Amino acid sequence: MQCKDDDDDDVDLPEDTICQDVVIIDSELYKNTSSDTYRLSSATIAGDCLIINFGASGCSGSSWEYKMVDSGAVAESLPEQRFLKFQLVNNEDCLAFFTREQSFDIRPLQIEGSNQIILNIEGFSESLTYNY
């Protein structure tokens, strides 16, 4: 499975579908990522894809850039846990509100010797269980 970079807003992915982007593991980027520029309304896992729905103000949302960033830290619990932030770069200065759906390949988050991990996304109240 590979990820592709396209702007397809209709994400509803079955388990064998390619994700739109890949999670980035970077502790510095994680520390410097603010999660207060958007509203995260849902997050689900389908196969190896994390699918999020989010909204923010803007003129059209067409210039938005986004990343899902992992802290690089693994909490030694059973199952192990990882910590994520969604980064939205939004330079649009309008009052309209737009929503998007985006998917991220989460295979880089897998831990050798394990088949399950808990994902904690900042700004989202529920933890997600990723089985692989």
d(CA 106, CA 68): 9
Helix (H) or strand (E) holding 89: strand 80-89
Check residue 4 and give its pLDDT.
34
Q: How would you label 92-131 residue by residue, b for 16+ Cβ within 10 Å and e otherwise?
A: eeeeeebebbbbbbbbebeeeeeeebbbebbebeeebebe
Q: Where does the pLDDT of residue 16 fall: very low under 50, low under 70, confident under 90, or very high at 90 and above?
A: low
Lowest mean per-residue pLDDT among 9-13, 24-28, 52-56, 97-101: 9-13
The answer on pLDDT for 9 being more than 60 is no
- Given a contact cutoff of 8 angstroms between Cβ atoms, the answer to whether 19 and 70 are in contact is no
Provide mean pLDDT across the span 67-83.
96
d(CA 19, CA 39): 21
Q: What is the pTM of this model?
A: 0.82
| Backbone angles phi and psi of 59, in degrees to 5 | -90, -40
Provide mean pLDDT across the span 93-112.
94
Check residue 6 and give its pLDDT.
38
Predicted confidence (pLDDT) per residue in 22-65, tens digit: 999 999 999 999 877 799 999 999 999 999 999 999 999 899 99
Provide mean pLDDT across the span 77-85.
96
Encoding tokens for residue 18? 């390619």
Q: What is the residue-averaged pLDDT of the chain?
A: 87
Q: Calculate what percentage of the chain has a pLDDT beyond 70.
A: 87
Domains by residue range for the chain, with CATH: 21-131 (2.60.40.2370)
Helix (H) or strand (E) holding 39: strand 39-46
